[in-house]
Amino acid sequence: MYSTTCWIPKAHLSNYPIIPNFEQLYNEEVQKDENQAMEEDEIVKKYGLSNYDDDEDDYAKYALTKQGDGFDPDMEEDDSEVEENLIADTDSVLIAGMFDNVEVDYRLEFIVMEQSADNKYIHHDILMPNIPLTTSYLDMGSCPINGIKNIVAVSCLGKPLELWNIDSLEDTTPLVVLDPTNGAIINQAREINDKFDDNATVLSVGWNSLQKNILATGSADHIIRFWDLASMKVAHQLSHHQGKVQVCSWNPVDGSVLATGSFGENGSQAAMYLLDARQQKTLGNWFCQCDMNDFVWNNDGRLFMITFEDGRVELRDMRNLNNPVWELAAHERVCTCASIYNNGIFATGGEDKYVKIWDAKGGKPYVLKQIDCKGDVLACSWCPDINGMLAVGGEFGLKFFSALR
C-alpha cells in the first residue's frame, strides 16, 4: 500500500549517488585485525605461550592472509554496477512511501522514470520505522546542509520527523531526526525499542522554498513548530489550533504566508488559518464543516484547494476568504488528496476508489476523466517534467497514468 508521493524534478539529483565503499570497510576491518594481532603477540611473548602453538595449521595461516578472504581491495568497481546506479539528467524520480502492516514492512521507494516514460524501476529504497505519512523534497542547492543539497523530509506514524540525504545510497541512518523533546538527533541509528508516541506524529510538513532554511511542521500535539535548518533548532512555535494540525503549507509566491489547518477535536471545530509569519498576525481564519485531508496552493499563490472527509473540494482565494470561489462534491466518500496541474486542470483521489481529472478553466469544474483504481486512493501527484503524467498511490499499489490523453 502506498500512502504518500512526491516528485524530484529532473537534473536535481546526483547522477551517481554515493554507494557503500566496501574497500574502505574492508581496510578498516583489516586494520582492526592487525591491531588485535599485535595485542595477541604481546600477550604470547609476555607469558611464553608460543610453545603451545608451534604446529600452527596451514589452513589457519591461509585464512588469516589477505588473499584468503576472496576479496581484492585493488579491484576497481564494476562498470555495470556504476551504470545501474546512474540517474540521468533526463530522468524524473518519484519518492513513494510504502507500507505493509502484515509483513511489518515500511519504506521509502525511489522510482526512476526515464524520459520516454516507458521505462520505470525502483532505484533503491530506505527502511522506515513506521507507516510513512508525508514526504517533502527539500532542494537545498543554494544553501546546502553540511554540503548536502538534496534532502527528503519524511514523517512516520508515532515518530519524529526525519531528514535523509538522498544523494547517498550508503546512509543507513537519517541525516537528522527533528525531535522537539530531545532536540535534533544527528546521524544516529534508531533505537531498537523506540516507543510509539502518537503526540510525536508529524501530520504536515511545510518547507519554505523562498526561505530555504525554514521548515514548518504541524503535529498531533496541536503545535506548529518552525525549525531553523541551519541550527537544527526550533526557532518559534504556535499553539493556536485546538486539534491535530493536518495542514502546514507555505505560499509559493509570498514566503511569509503560511496556511495551517486542524481537525475538530474535544468539541472544537476543524479550523483553517492564513498567517503572516513575518508580521506574526492572522490574515484570516474560518471553521470547516468537517475535517480536512489535503491542501494545495495554486502556482499563482492566490488560490488554494482543500479536500475534506465528506468528499468535498473547496477552492478559495486568499484575497477574499469569506466564501469559497466554488465547492464541489468530488467523491462519494473521503476525498483524500488533490494535485494541481496547470490551466485549471487538477486531480483528486478518494476512498471511493476513484481518481478524477477535472477542468475548472470555465469556472465550475467538470470531470475530464475518472479512473477506477480498484482500491482506496491515498496519494496523487503530477510529474513536473512529463506532460500529463500522474502518479497515484493507495491500497492497489502504485500506478502511473497519462491522464490527459
pLDDT single digits (tens) 215-230: 999 999 999 999 999 9
Q: Are 321 and 274 in contact (CB under 8 A)?
A: yes
Q: What is the pLDDT of residue 38?
A: 58
- How is residue 153 written as a grid cell? 523530509
pLDDT in the model for residue 189 = 79
Superfamily of chain region 289-405: YVTN repeat-like/Quinoprotein amine dehydrogenase (2.130.10.10)
Residue of 351, 350, 339, 352 whose CA lies nearest to 384? 339
> Once rounded to an integer, what is the mean pLDDT over residues 156-167?
95
- pLDDT category of residue 340 using cuts at 50, 70 and 90: very high
Listed in sequence order, the residues at least 6 apart from 394 whose beta carbon sits closer than 8 Å to its beta carbon are 1, 2, 349, 373, 375, 376, 377, 378, 379
**How much is the pLDDT for 128?**
96
If one compares 358 and 115, the residue with the highest pLDDT of the two is 358
Q: Count each helix (H run) and each strand (E run) in the chain, helices first.
A: 3, 28
Mean pLDDT of 379-392: 96
pLDDT band at 379 (very low <50, low <70, confident <90, very high): very high
Three-state DSSP at 314 gives strand
Q: How confident is the model at residue 115 (pLDDT cuts 50, 70, 90)?
A: confident
What pLDDT digit, counting tens, does each position of 294-337 carry? 999 999 999 999 999 999 999 999 999 989 999 999 999 999 99
Q: What are the φ and ψ backbone dihedral angles of 22, each rounded to 5 degrees? A: -65, -30
Specify the amino acid at residue 316: R
Which amino acid belongs to residue 263? Answer: F
Predicted pLDDT of residue 57: 45
- The pLDDT, as a whole number, for residue 32 is 53
End-to-end CA distance of the chain: 26
Cell 525502483 locates to: 122
119 or 192: which leads in pLDDT: 119
Average pLDDT, whole number, for the chain?
86
- Beta partners for 122? 111
Lookup result for grid cell 488554494: 304
Which DSSP symbol is given to 47?
Answer: H
If you count them, how many residues does the chain have? 405
Q: Which residues are paired to 111 by β-bridges?
A: 94, 122
CA distance 395 to 405: 25
> What is the grid cell recorded at 83?
551504470
Lowest average pLDDT, out of 82-86, 100-104, 106-110, 325-329, goes to 82-86
Burial 113-140 (b: 16+ CB within 10 A, else e): beeebeebeebeebebbbbbbbbbbbeb
Q: Which residues of 295-333 are buried (b: 16+ CB within 10 A; e: fewer)?
A: bbbbeeeebbbbbbbebbbbbbebeeeeebeebbebbee
Q: Looking at residue 367, what is its pLDDT?
A: 97
Closest listed residue to residue 4, CA positions, set 92, 95, 93: 95
User: How far, in Å, CA of 350 to CA of 373, rounded?
Assistant: 10
Task: Give the contacts of 183 (CB within 8 A, at least 6 positions apart).
Answer: 232, 233
**Numbered ranges of CATH 2.130.10.10 in the chain:** 1-14+85-256, 289-405
Q: What's the pLDDT at 146?
A: 87
CATH of the domain spanning 1-14+85-256: 2.130.10.10
Residue 324 phi, psi (nearest 5):
-65, 150
Q: What is the pLDDT of residues 11-32, one digit of tens each?
A: 888 876 665 443 444 454 455 5
**Range in 50-64, 162-176, 187-201, 231-245 the model is least confident about:** 50-64
Q: Where is average pLDDT lowest: 143-157, 194-208, 271-285, 296-310?
A: 194-208
